[in-house]
Amino acid sequence: MPSFSRTFFALISLAALPLTWATVNGPVISANFPDPAILATSGGTYAFATNSGNINIQVATSPDDGVTWELQSGVDALPNVGSWATVNSTWAPDVIDRGDGTFVMYYAAWSTSQGTHCVAAATSTSPVGPYNPESQPIACQTPGGGAIDPAGFQDTNGTRYIVYKVDGSSLGGGGPCGNANGEYSTPIMLQEMETDGVTPTGEPVQILDRGQSDGPLIEAPALILHNGTYVLFFSSNCYNTDLYDISYATAPSISGPYTKASSPLLVTGDDGLTAPGGATPRLDGGFMVFHVTVNTNPLTRYMYTATLTWNGTIVSA
Protein backbone atom coordinates (compact mmCIF):
# COMPACT_ATOMS: atom_id res chain seq x y z
CA MET A 1 0.00 0.00 0.00
CA PRO A 2 1.63 3.28 -1.03
CA SER A 3 1.94 5.93 1.62
CA PHE A 4 1.24 9.50 0.64
CA SER A 5 3.50 12.07 2.15
CA ARG A 6 4.09 15.76 2.43
CA THR A 7 5.46 18.01 -0.23
CA PHE A 8 8.85 19.05 0.88
CA PHE A 9 10.78 21.23 -1.51
CA ALA A 10 10.14 24.80 -2.50
CA LEU A 11 12.27 26.93 -4.76
CA ILE A 12 11.95 30.57 -5.66
CA SER A 13 10.40 30.71 -9.11
CA LEU A 14 13.20 32.01 -11.26
CA ALA A 15 12.38 31.63 -14.93
CA ALA A 16 15.38 29.33 -15.35
CA LEU A 17 14.25 27.12 -12.45
CA PRO A 18 10.62 26.24 -13.20
CA LEU A 19 10.35 23.03 -11.17
CA THR A 20 9.03 23.93 -7.74
CA TRP A 21 7.55 20.93 -5.96
CA ALA A 22 7.67 17.15 -5.89
CA THR A 23 4.99 15.26 -3.96
CA VAL A 24 6.37 11.80 -3.25
CA ASN A 25 4.37 8.56 -3.21
CA GLY A 26 5.64 5.11 -2.43
CA PRO A 27 7.13 2.68 -2.51
CA VAL A 28 4.85 1.70 -5.38
CA ILE A 29 6.96 -1.36 -6.36
CA SER A 30 8.43 -3.11 -3.32
CA ALA A 31 10.96 -5.15 -5.27
CA ASN A 32 14.37 -4.33 -6.72
CA PHE A 33 13.39 -2.14 -9.70
CA PRO A 34 16.29 0.28 -10.35
CA ASP A 35 16.57 3.12 -12.88
CA PRO A 36 12.89 3.04 -13.81
CA ALA A 37 11.39 4.52 -16.97
CA ILE A 38 7.74 5.36 -17.57
CA LEU A 39 5.73 4.90 -20.76
CA ALA A 40 2.27 6.48 -20.66
CA THR A 41 0.14 5.70 -23.71
CA SER A 42 -3.57 5.88 -24.41
CA GLY A 43 -3.55 2.09 -24.03
CA GLY A 44 -1.91 1.96 -20.61
CA THR A 45 0.93 2.98 -18.31
CA TYR A 46 4.10 0.92 -18.04
CA ALA A 47 7.43 1.03 -16.20
CA PHE A 48 10.70 -0.65 -17.16
CA ALA A 49 13.83 -1.26 -15.09
CA THR A 50 17.38 -2.57 -15.01
CA ASN A 51 18.09 -6.31 -14.96
CA SER A 52 17.37 -8.27 -11.81
CA GLY A 53 17.86 -12.00 -11.29
CA ASN A 54 17.77 -13.56 -14.76
CA ILE A 55 15.39 -10.93 -16.21
CA ASN A 56 17.21 -8.57 -18.59
CA ILE A 57 14.60 -5.80 -18.57
CA GLN A 58 11.87 -5.81 -15.94
CA VAL A 59 8.40 -4.48 -16.68
CA ALA A 60 5.52 -3.30 -14.51
CA THR A 61 2.04 -2.12 -15.43
CA SER A 62 -0.30 0.38 -13.83
CA PRO A 63 -4.07 0.01 -14.22
CA ASP A 64 -4.73 3.56 -12.95
CA ASP A 65 -2.32 5.96 -14.70
CA GLY A 66 0.55 5.44 -12.28
CA VAL A 67 -1.13 5.34 -8.87
CA THR A 68 -0.73 1.60 -8.26
CA TRP A 69 1.72 -0.73 -9.97
CA GLU A 70 2.00 -4.45 -10.63
CA LEU A 71 5.44 -5.95 -11.26
CA GLN A 72 5.11 -8.47 -14.10
CA SER A 73 7.08 -11.10 -12.26
CA GLY A 74 8.98 -13.44 -14.57
CA VAL A 75 8.32 -11.32 -17.68
CA ASP A 76 11.45 -10.23 -19.59
CA ALA A 77 10.72 -7.34 -21.96
CA LEU A 78 14.11 -7.95 -23.64
CA PRO A 79 14.70 -11.72 -23.71
CA ASN A 80 17.24 -11.31 -26.55
CA VAL A 81 19.80 -8.58 -25.71
CA GLY A 82 21.40 -8.58 -29.18
CA SER A 83 24.25 -10.65 -30.56
CA TRP A 84 26.80 -7.94 -29.62
CA ALA A 85 25.70 -7.88 -25.97
CA THR A 86 25.87 -10.15 -22.93
CA VAL A 87 22.95 -11.08 -20.65
CA ASN A 88 22.72 -9.90 -17.03
CA SER A 89 24.29 -6.57 -18.03
CA THR A 90 21.26 -4.59 -19.22
CA TRP A 91 20.74 -1.29 -17.47
CA ALA A 92 18.43 1.71 -17.35
CA PRO A 93 15.96 1.17 -20.20
CA ASP A 94 13.65 3.78 -21.66
CA VAL A 95 10.70 3.19 -24.00
CA ILE A 96 9.01 5.53 -26.48
CA ASP A 97 5.78 5.15 -28.42
CA ARG A 98 6.79 5.81 -32.03
CA GLY A 99 3.17 6.50 -32.91
CA ASP A 100 2.98 3.99 -35.76
CA GLY A 101 2.17 0.87 -33.74
CA THR A 102 5.80 0.30 -32.81
CA PHE A 103 7.46 0.93 -29.45
CA VAL A 104 11.21 1.54 -29.21
CA MET A 105 13.21 0.46 -26.19
CA TYR A 106 16.59 2.07 -25.51
CA TYR A 107 18.90 0.16 -23.19
CA ALA A 108 22.55 -0.29 -22.25
CA ALA A 109 24.34 -3.63 -22.24
CA TRP A 110 27.88 -4.89 -21.93
CA SER A 111 29.76 -5.44 -25.18
CA THR A 112 32.54 -7.99 -24.83
CA SER A 113 34.23 -6.76 -28.01
CA GLN A 114 34.31 -3.13 -26.78
CA GLY A 115 34.95 -3.95 -23.12
CA THR A 116 32.36 -1.32 -22.17
CA HIS A 117 28.63 -0.84 -22.03
CA CYS A 118 27.00 0.42 -25.24
CA VAL A 119 23.55 1.94 -25.79
CA ALA A 120 21.18 0.30 -28.24
CA ALA A 121 17.59 0.11 -29.46
CA ALA A 122 15.04 -2.69 -29.75
CA THR A 123 11.49 -2.62 -31.13
CA SER A 124 8.18 -4.27 -30.35
CA THR A 125 4.56 -3.93 -31.43
CA SER A 126 3.50 -4.47 -27.80
CA PRO A 127 4.54 -2.08 -25.01
CA VAL A 128 5.50 -4.97 -22.71
CA GLY A 129 7.53 -6.66 -25.46
CA PRO A 130 9.24 -8.86 -26.29
CA TYR A 131 11.50 -6.22 -27.86
CA ASN A 132 13.67 -7.32 -30.78
CA PRO A 133 17.16 -5.80 -30.68
CA GLU A 134 18.69 -3.94 -33.62
CA SER A 135 21.76 -5.74 -34.93
CA GLN A 136 24.28 -3.11 -33.79
CA PRO A 137 24.45 -0.68 -30.86
CA ILE A 138 23.82 3.04 -31.37
CA ALA A 139 26.91 4.23 -29.50
CA CYS A 140 29.71 2.73 -27.41
CA GLN A 141 32.00 5.71 -26.59
CA THR A 142 34.68 3.14 -25.80
CA PRO A 143 37.61 5.54 -25.14
CA GLY A 144 35.39 7.58 -22.79
CA GLY A 145 34.41 4.53 -20.70
CA GLY A 146 31.29 3.36 -22.54
CA ALA A 147 27.75 4.62 -23.07
CA ILE A 148 24.86 4.02 -20.63
CA ASP A 149 21.49 5.41 -19.52
CA PRO A 150 19.84 6.16 -22.89
CA ALA A 151 16.49 7.96 -23.01
CA GLY A 152 14.38 9.04 -25.98
CA PHE A 153 12.95 12.45 -26.80
CA GLN A 154 10.89 13.86 -29.68
CA ASP A 155 11.02 17.59 -30.33
CA THR A 156 7.95 19.60 -31.35
CA ASN A 157 9.12 19.63 -34.98
CA GLY A 158 9.10 15.81 -34.99
CA THR A 159 12.86 15.24 -34.82
CA ARG A 160 13.83 12.34 -32.57
CA TYR A 161 16.82 12.22 -30.25
CA ILE A 162 18.33 10.14 -27.51
CA VAL A 163 20.36 11.42 -24.57
CA TYR A 164 22.88 9.18 -22.81
CA LYS A 165 25.85 9.25 -20.43
CA VAL A 166 29.47 8.69 -21.43
CA ASP A 167 30.52 6.43 -18.56
CA GLY A 168 33.83 8.04 -17.63
CA SER A 169 33.41 7.00 -14.01
CA SER A 170 33.85 3.37 -15.15
CA LEU A 171 37.48 4.10 -16.07
CA GLY A 172 38.64 3.89 -12.44
CA GLY A 173 39.89 6.56 -10.11
CA GLY A 174 38.79 5.08 -6.78
CA GLY A 175 35.93 5.88 -4.45
CA PRO A 176 32.59 4.07 -4.14
CA CYS A 177 31.80 4.29 -7.89
CA GLY A 178 35.06 5.45 -9.48
CA ASN A 179 36.34 8.90 -10.45
CA ALA A 180 36.77 10.01 -6.82
CA ASN A 181 39.02 12.90 -7.89
CA GLY A 182 36.95 13.91 -10.90
CA GLU A 183 39.71 13.15 -13.40
CA TYR A 184 37.28 11.73 -15.98
CA SER A 185 34.39 13.57 -17.53
CA THR A 186 30.92 12.00 -17.56
CA PRO A 187 29.23 14.04 -20.28
CA ILE A 188 25.57 13.77 -21.25
CA MET A 189 25.32 13.46 -25.03
CA LEU A 190 22.46 14.40 -27.37
CA GLN A 191 22.21 12.17 -30.45
CA GLU A 192 19.78 12.96 -33.27
CA MET A 193 17.95 9.91 -34.61
CA GLU A 194 16.21 9.11 -37.89
CA THR A 195 12.40 9.07 -37.79
CA ASP A 196 12.59 5.31 -37.09
CA GLY A 197 14.00 6.15 -33.64
CA VAL A 198 16.63 3.43 -33.93
CA THR A 199 19.15 4.81 -36.45
CA PRO A 200 21.51 7.59 -35.36
CA THR A 201 22.11 10.48 -37.73
CA GLY A 202 24.97 12.97 -37.45
CA GLU A 203 27.38 13.23 -34.56
CA PRO A 204 26.38 13.36 -30.88
CA VAL A 205 26.83 16.68 -29.09
CA GLN A 206 27.68 17.17 -25.44
CA ILE A 207 24.97 19.07 -23.54
CA LEU A 208 26.12 18.74 -19.90
CA ASP A 209 29.00 17.43 -17.75
CA ARG A 210 29.81 16.85 -14.12
CA GLY A 211 31.01 19.74 -11.98
CA GLN A 212 32.43 20.06 -8.49
CA SER A 213 29.01 19.95 -6.85
CA ASP A 214 28.12 16.69 -8.66
CA GLY A 215 30.88 14.61 -7.09
CA PRO A 216 32.34 11.99 -9.45
CA LEU A 217 29.57 11.96 -12.02
CA ILE A 218 26.27 12.89 -13.54
CA GLU A 219 24.15 10.17 -15.17
CA ALA A 220 20.61 8.92 -15.81
CA PRO A 221 19.59 11.75 -18.18
CA ALA A 222 15.97 12.14 -19.26
CA LEU A 223 14.82 15.06 -21.41
CA ILE A 224 11.41 16.68 -21.70
CA LEU A 225 10.11 19.94 -23.14
CA HIS A 226 8.00 21.76 -20.59
CA ASN A 227 6.24 25.04 -21.36
CA GLY A 228 8.89 26.04 -23.91
CA THR A 229 11.87 25.04 -21.75
CA TYR A 230 14.01 21.94 -22.29
CA VAL A 231 14.37 20.21 -18.92
CA LEU A 232 17.11 17.60 -18.52
CA PHE A 233 16.72 15.43 -15.43
CA PHE A 234 19.85 13.69 -14.13
CA SER A 235 21.39 12.14 -11.03
CA SER A 236 24.63 13.26 -9.35
CA ASN A 237 27.12 11.44 -7.11
CA CYS A 238 27.53 7.68 -6.57
CA TYR A 239 24.42 5.51 -6.91
CA ASN A 240 25.68 3.36 -4.03
CA THR A 241 25.98 6.21 -1.52
CA ASP A 242 23.49 8.46 0.26
CA LEU A 243 24.69 11.36 -1.88
CA TYR A 244 22.84 10.11 -4.98
CA ASP A 245 20.13 12.57 -5.96
CA ILE A 246 17.66 13.75 -8.59
CA SER A 247 18.51 17.05 -10.19
CA TYR A 248 17.77 18.87 -13.43
CA ALA A 249 19.05 21.50 -15.81
CA THR A 250 17.12 23.78 -18.15
CA ALA A 251 17.83 25.25 -21.58
CA PRO A 252 16.08 27.50 -24.09
CA SER A 253 17.04 25.21 -27.00
CA ILE A 254 17.58 21.49 -27.26
CA SER A 255 21.33 21.69 -27.72
CA GLY A 256 21.72 24.06 -24.80
CA PRO A 257 23.21 25.84 -23.04
CA TYR A 258 21.80 23.91 -20.06
CA THR A 259 21.83 25.60 -16.66
CA LYS A 260 21.83 23.31 -13.63
CA ALA A 261 19.29 24.01 -10.89
CA SER A 262 20.93 25.63 -7.87
CA SER A 263 20.02 22.63 -5.72
CA PRO A 264 18.75 19.11 -6.48
CA LEU A 265 15.04 18.31 -6.60
CA LEU A 266 15.35 15.30 -4.27
CA VAL A 267 18.15 14.24 -1.91
CA THR A 268 18.56 11.77 0.94
CA GLY A 269 16.44 12.86 3.88
CA ASP A 270 13.67 14.45 1.81
CA ASP A 271 10.49 12.61 2.79
CA GLY A 272 12.67 10.03 4.56
CA LEU A 273 14.13 8.81 1.26
CA THR A 274 17.62 7.36 0.84
CA ALA A 275 19.59 7.96 -2.37
CA PRO A 276 16.69 8.91 -4.65
CA GLY A 277 17.80 8.68 -8.29
CA GLY A 278 17.37 7.39 -11.80
CA ALA A 279 14.26 9.51 -12.38
CA THR A 280 12.24 9.51 -15.58
CA PRO A 281 9.48 12.11 -15.95
CA ARG A 282 6.34 11.46 -17.93
CA LEU A 283 6.47 13.43 -21.21
CA ASP A 284 4.03 16.07 -19.92
CA GLY A 285 6.27 16.72 -16.90
CA GLY A 286 3.48 16.19 -14.40
CA PHE A 287 4.73 12.95 -12.92
CA MET A 288 7.93 10.94 -12.54
CA VAL A 289 9.13 7.51 -11.52
CA PHE A 290 12.43 7.02 -9.67
CA HIS A 291 14.17 4.61 -7.34
CA VAL A 292 15.06 4.76 -3.65
CA THR A 293 17.64 2.62 -1.85
CA VAL A 294 16.05 0.41 0.80
CA ASN A 295 18.98 -1.93 1.43
CA THR A 296 22.68 -1.57 0.64
CA ASN A 297 23.72 -5.24 0.89
CA PRO A 298 22.56 -6.53 -1.46
CA LEU A 299 21.81 -3.15 -3.07
CA THR A 300 18.02 -3.02 -3.39
CA ARG A 301 16.11 -0.11 -4.91
CA TYR A 302 12.31 0.22 -4.87
CA MET A 303 10.27 2.33 -7.27
CA TYR A 304 8.62 5.52 -6.06
CA THR A 305 6.66 8.15 -7.95
CA ALA A 306 6.21 11.88 -7.54
CA THR A 307 3.76 14.45 -8.82
CA LEU A 308 5.65 17.49 -10.08
CA THR A 309 4.63 21.11 -9.75
CA TRP A 310 6.00 23.75 -12.11
CA ASN A 311 5.79 27.43 -11.26
CA GLY A 312 2.98 26.68 -8.85
CA THR A 313 0.96 24.78 -11.43
CA ILE A 314 0.22 21.07 -11.16
CA VAL A 315 0.26 19.53 -14.63
CA SER A 316 -2.48 16.95 -15.02
CA ALA A 317 -2.28 14.18 -17.57
Where does this chain bind ligand NAG (CB under 6 A)? 15, 18, 53-54, 87-88, 155, 157-159, 227, 254, 310-311, 313
CA distance 103 to 96: 6
Angle, CA of 59, 246 and 211, to the nearest 5°: 130
Q: In this complex, which beta carbon is closest to ligand NAG, that of residue 132 or of residue 159?
A: 159
CA distance 252 to 50: 31
- Residue 298 CB, nearest distance to ligand NAG (Å)? 11
Q: In this complex, which beta carbon is closest to ligand NAG, that of residue 185 or of residue 311?
A: 311
Q: In this complex, which beta carbon is closest to ligand NAG, that of residue 104 or of residue 308?
A: 308
- Residue 217 CB, nearest distance to ligand NAG (Å)? 26
**Distance set, CA 272 to CA 7, 155, 227, 234 (Å):** 12, 36, 31, 20
- Residue 13 CB, nearest distance to ligand NAG (Å)? 8
By C-alpha distance, which of 157, 251, 241 is closest to 206?
A: 251
Q: In this complex, which beta carbon is closest to ligand NAG, that of residue 55 or of residue 289?
A: 55
Q: In this complex, which beta carbon is closest to ligand NAG, that of residue 88 or of residue 136?
A: 88
CA distance 123 to 132: 5
Ramachandran region of residue 42, left (φ > 0), alpha (ψ -120 to 50) or beta?
alpha
Preceding omega of 18 cis (within 30 degrees of 0): no
- Residue 54 CB, nearest distance to ligand NAG (Å)? 4
- Residue 193 CB, nearest distance to ligand NAG (Å)? 11
